[in-house]
Structure 1
Amino acid sequence: MQATENGSFWRFCLFSCLFLQSSCQDFGGQTQFICTSVPKDVDICAATLQNSVPGEDLRSTVVQLRETVLQQKETIINQKETIRELTSKLARCESQSGSEAGDGRPGGRRKEAGTKNTMGDVSRGPADTLAQLSQTLQSLKQRLENLEQFSRGNNSVQANSLKDLLQSKIDDLEKQVLSRVNSIEEGKPGLRNETEQRGRVESTLTSLHQRITDLEKGQRENRPLDKFQLTFPLRTNYMYAKVKKSLPEMYALTVCMWLKSNASPGVGTPFSYAVPGQANELVLIEWGNNPMEILINDKVAKLPFLINDGKWHHICVTWTTRDGVWEAFQDGVKRGSGENLAPYHPIKPQGLLILGQEQDTYGGGFDATQAFVGDLANFHIWDRKLSVGEIYNLATCSSKAQVGNVFAWLETSLEIYGGASKWTFEACRHLN
């Protein structure tokens, strides 16, 4: 053989021998392998090693060696892929856990869609469902009391008659609720008919809502289009109002409204404006134990508002894109200011404005824990910064008060969903 051929061969032979010797040692064998040179004209694959086990073929050994190496490579590749997949899943789990335990800002938590129903935010157990049902009945009672006051003021015999009928229906439903609760607590087998009975109760509630809505129409026919309030009696993910038109691009803005709530912790989300690709383009929210916040392009400023005392309060927030300067007013008085809130970022157009819910995605992703609970009225938006005097006029019901040039509070500008109700509202009558 030539020197290079001899060198290549001996390296190959040495490697094969070491492998075979290692294999034998693993099984406790005492056999030793000795490598010798092979004449140039002899077929290497047909040759056998001196003093080897008869029938042990070098070609077979090499093929086994190659197969072993390929199998090990494949195993390593599969293990690496498995490690990457598990690492990715662990990172997602840690991210979700961290978000839920974090500062609680909107957009930080994403709920998977649940099955909505008329008695709660998503499908729950029987006890939770009945608790939601009890809240709904209390809401209906409150609406009926309002109707009763209205009917007394207007001497409406028809309203009184219908009110009595609805009250009787609600009393019957309340008895059913108590019966179901007792059955749950005592562990009675009546739970087998849970779905059927719940369907009957929901059907009755739907009928009651429709009758109350018909009765409320009598009030709407006799009031101006801007003299109304929206009421969100429960924390749900289905009660909200949608503004029919979008907002324009804005380099400055003022948002004002009347709010009344005693919800705790946090009153929820009075409004949220989302655009494609940014769910938190413009949001006002008070969630959990956090103070009320204004979000613009997902940037946050904390507002010094204290409004969850069950009384009406007038609040305004102004903002300009230059340096992100903002100011906050409660009941006509400036309570706070700051800067660097989404500076030089104009509010984007062609979005969706929702009252009463926070949007985790464009037009959806509502979370019941972030929903607004209470009353909202006289919601206006301007594409400029209002002066201190103009805001004071709004809070004191001055005749000089203006309406929003971007969005003005009118019944015809809203679509109501999920059982949120409208009532006559006069701001000056509610100042005390």
Structure 2
Amino acid sequence: MLVLLAAALLLLPDTSSPAAGQEAGLTRLVCTSIPLDADPTCPVPAMPIQGGTAQEQDLRATLVQLRETILQQKEAMSSQKEAIKELTSKLTRCEGVALGESAQLQAKFKGGRRKQHGGKDTMGDLPRAHSQVVDHLGRTIQALKDRLASLEQQTRANPSNQAIPSDLREQLQRKLGDLESQLLNKVSELEDEKFVLLNETAAHRYKTESALNALHERVTELEKESNGFKSPDDFKVSLPLRTNYLYARIKKSLPELYAFTVCMWIRSTALSSVGTPFSYAVSGQANEIVLIEWGNNPIELLINDKVAQLPMNINDGKWHHICITWTTRDGMWEAYQNGHLRGSGENLAPWHPIKAGGALILGQEQDTVGGRFDATQAFVGELSHFNIWDRILTSEDIRSMANCSANLAGNIVPWIDNNVDVFGGATKLPLETCQERLVSS
């Protein structure tokens, strides 16, 4: 602008010369210095449009154009200053928001880790907070970039506007670059911490599952060691004392029977009578089936409270294999000891079917269904392989079990571990081999 003004002054004719002053209608352009805080625009005196040379008219038009250009530049600079102030304020607030939300996110993340170590998994909250902060910062930075680009585009589109000063542009770009770097660093830190936390959670889960599996295996081993049974029937029930509270109970109940065979391995350690190896009681009849030896009486078989004496002797502290058969037809019965028939008879509760749904007890005689035991009638010793069939076994089958050539399971009551419960101090113990029992018989 100053260059144009100087050129205009040089083109003006010298009015101080007499020749120039004699020309009519000429005016003089005078510029006066003003204070710094005053209006910088020079007042242009009103000039007549008509009159003067063509050169003077061109100068006047140039001055008017310069004045308009100065006013436009002033307005543009004022608008640009306001935009720059607003943009700087936005950047400052963005930095504050970024720092505040970063601190909040770190607090949430640490709190989430503390909750996870306390027993609750908060991994689901962390990704949402992380995504929200990243999205917010990304949108803010992008908006600032768009605003700055728009401002520069407007400046380039208007040739009369001055460009944004280079130092201010560099400052804005540095701030945007710093914000982008902070955002990328924060995202990287959050991803690293999230990865570490996921690894710690997976490792903790793996350790917990390994510990549980090891504990389960150990419990299984201890159960096997405590049982010590090679097979489900390889055990015996020990009743070491003559009391009214040591006994074992067969879980499976009997159906209605018209014949049966009862076999068992038995070893009595009592000094006097054997007691009651087993008893079966039903509602209304406590002596539905009972095998007992007490007082000075021999071993007796009771069916429906009817009695038959069995010619067997097993009170010697040795293992014996005994079998008893009975049928409701004529009440016929047979007694086997160690595979040999020791006695038989008939008319033992003939035509009386064995009632179903009673309680089958090993080691005690029942006065009521499942209770009222008498210590004087208790069995003392060991029992094993107590089996019941709903038919009469042949003598060959009985002999094969007694000499250890066969091991038959009852089709009504089989001798298996999970079918026998012990009470009052009675125990389940590993059983000697059949050959060892045979040698001791």
Q: TM-score, normalised by structure 1?
A: 0.49
Max Rg structure = 2
TM-score, length of structure 2 as denominator length:
0.48
